[in-house]
Chains A and B, each alone.
Chain A
Amino acid sequence: MSDSHDPGASDLGPEPDETPPLPAQQPPPPRKVTARSFGDSTPGAAPEPLAVSELIQATWRPDLLAAHVLGSPERIARNLADGRGIAVLALVLFGASVAAALPFGGVAPVGDWWSVAALFAGSVLICLPCLYAFLQFTGLKLTFDRTVTIALLIPATAGLLSLAFAPIVWFIDATTARVPYPTELVDAAGNALVVRAGETAGDVTPVALARVLLGLALLLGVVQLGRVTFKGSSGDTYARTGTRFLLLLWLPLLLFIVRRMSSQLGIWE
């Protein structure tokens, strides 16, 4: 027992230092989901570019190919910004443009089996040189591989969506009654109209519906191009206002070529 007895002190020894109680834990503020976190399971996290291994794996996994091309605009934007795996990405997009469009061409009552693939990929490749040249000429020095990748986004997206629509167009064509055109068909001026063998007469034919689905696939390809270019930051050349403006000017040319080529390929009269 201590002689110097402090009335406030404990007999067991000095009081431990009193530490102030911890402040009550505040819940973290809710994370704001922005447009750039689109499609990510962790909103706000910086997306990784598509790795070369992922792209190679996608060549034999159609579901992964769809996930990367259709569902990863922000990751493709990172590839364009960093330049990583651009060449492989361009090759994969070209492969998707051609291979994915073949089934639709094979079952649809428009053109030949290769027509749709030729339309999507061919029209973009025809218009590609002028896109690259104008980008260089206006000082928006986008590298050739990036230019090719951006341009191929449209046919690759359209090709994959046409693959998804192929069973639908096959079914519509297979289940529509075949009512042949009348043997004598004239227009309002009395001129005989050319009738192609095998076509069916009707207000809403499988041919018309196939064209609508192709148009929808192409439109979504253009939308995908917009999504990728808007995912980039203003510091990236491909996402700058000038590049977007040039792409906007280039699109009508592309659509004009698509329209002409579709006539020549027998897809749209």
Chain B
Amino acid sequence: MDARVASGPAGTRRAYLRELLIPLAVVVVASATYGFSAGLVHSVRLATWNLAKMPLLILSTCALCALAWFATAQFVTRALGLRAVAALSLSTFAELSMLLASLSPVCAYLALTIERPVSAAQLNEYPLFLWLNVLFIATSGSVVLVRGALRLARAHALSRRRASAVLLIWLALALFVGGQCAWYMRPFFGPAHIVDPPFMERTNPHVDGSTNFYEAVWRAVSPRVRGPR
């Protein structure tokens, strides 16, 4: 069966562009909104930088994962062609961005009203803000994933198990790649006592010596980690 046939609805060029451009615009606007609200915990300057960095984070993750998403989708089910993969992945991120943007008033309120950290040893309510944002992202992501799996199953006549497998694999790839993207573009927000942060840390190692995202996670979870360099 030709992969092009199984790729989804109307095959006109304009319909395809609409399928891509509208979610793209939603990702840019909505993720920028959330990024701005989260960045306020540090400063208006960081919040303003996040207007560009959050969409860049999502779009660069999508670009780097595109081939892997297509290949793994083909491996699990041949029903998703290139076009369907592109449209589905963008719409998934658009929905996630919209949910996060809906939480941006909450995030902004918290960012402006928490008890600010004064030093590395006295972070006050900053860890609470950090973990709440992790909860926001995890909850929004889970909702989008469940809805996406059900919609994928209906639209492409897949079993729910297969649709869920596709989205879970895509999520794993997005987290794997997006983590390193976020590492390269950090900081997105941080404790306010850190003055004059750069626009992006890029390849600068972390204070604990970690050279990439995976090493930072490993050092955070491993009990037998080497000390700072």
Contacts and interface: CB of A to CB of B under 8 A. Distances in A.
A168 B175 CA distance: 12
A168 B211 contact: no
B67 A163 contact: yes
Interface in B185-212: 202-205, 209-212
Interface in A15-33: 33
Interface residues of A, number: 38
B6 interface: yes
A70 B75 contact: yes
A203 B70 contact: no
A164 B79 contact: no
Residue among B202, B204, B209 having the largest count of chain A Cβ atoms under 10 Å: B209
Contacts of A175: 180-181, 183-184, 202-203, 212
A176 B203 contact: yes
Interface string A31-54: 001000011110100000000000
A108 to B, nearest CB: 14
Given A164-B71, A168-B64, A204-B218, A177 B79 contact: no
Interface residues of B, number: 46
B177 interface: yes
Interface in A215-244: 220, 224
A71 B70 contact: no
Contact of A171 (B2, B64, B211): B64
B48 interface: no
Contacts of B184: 175
Residue among B79, B159, B177, B211 having the largest count of chain A Cβ atoms under 10 Å: B211
A205 B205 CA distance: 13
Contacts of A165: 67-68
Contact of A203 (B79, B202, B226): B226
B5 to A, nearest CB: 9
A253 B157 CA distance: 40
Contacts, number: 112
A129 interface: no
Nearest to A202: B211
Given A63-B81, A71-B78, A172-B180, A179 B229 contact: yes
Interface in A157-180: 157, 160-161, 163-168, 171-172, 175-179
Given A41-B157, A70-B74, A166 B203 contact: no
A66 interface: yes
A178 B226 contact: no
A25 to B, nearest CB: 24
B68 A204 contact: no
Contacts of B72: 161, 164
Given A64-B3, A71-B75, A175-B180, A203 B205 contact: no
B71 A70 contact: yes
Interface in A60-117: 63-64, 66-67, 70-72
Interface string B151-187: 0000011010000000000000100110011011000
Nearest to A61: B3
Contacts of A167: 63-64, 66-68
A209 B159 CA distance: 32
Nearest to B157: A41
B74 A67 contact: yes
Contacts of A64: 2-3
B163 to A, nearest CB: 13
B70 A66 contact: yes
B225 A39 contact: no
B82 interface: yes
Contacts of B146: none
Given A63-B82, A71-B74, A175-B202, A202 B64 contact: no
A155 interface: no
Contact of B211 (A66, A71, A177, A224): A177
CB-CB nearest 8 A-B residue pairs:
A71-B78, A164-B71, A71-B74, A67-B3, A177-B211, A204-B214, A70-B74, A39-B78
Given A161-B75, A203-B222, 9 more contacts: A64-B3, A67-B78, A71-B77, A71-B78, A175-B212, A176-B211, A179-B205, A206-B212, A220-B75
23 contacts: A41-B79, A63-B82, A64-B3, A66-B71, A71-B3, A161-B71, A161-B72, A164-B68, A164-B70, A164-B71, A165-B67, A166-B67, A167-B64, A168-B64, A168-B68, A171-B64, A175-B181, A175-B184, A175-B203, A176-B211, A177-B204, A177-B211, A179-B205
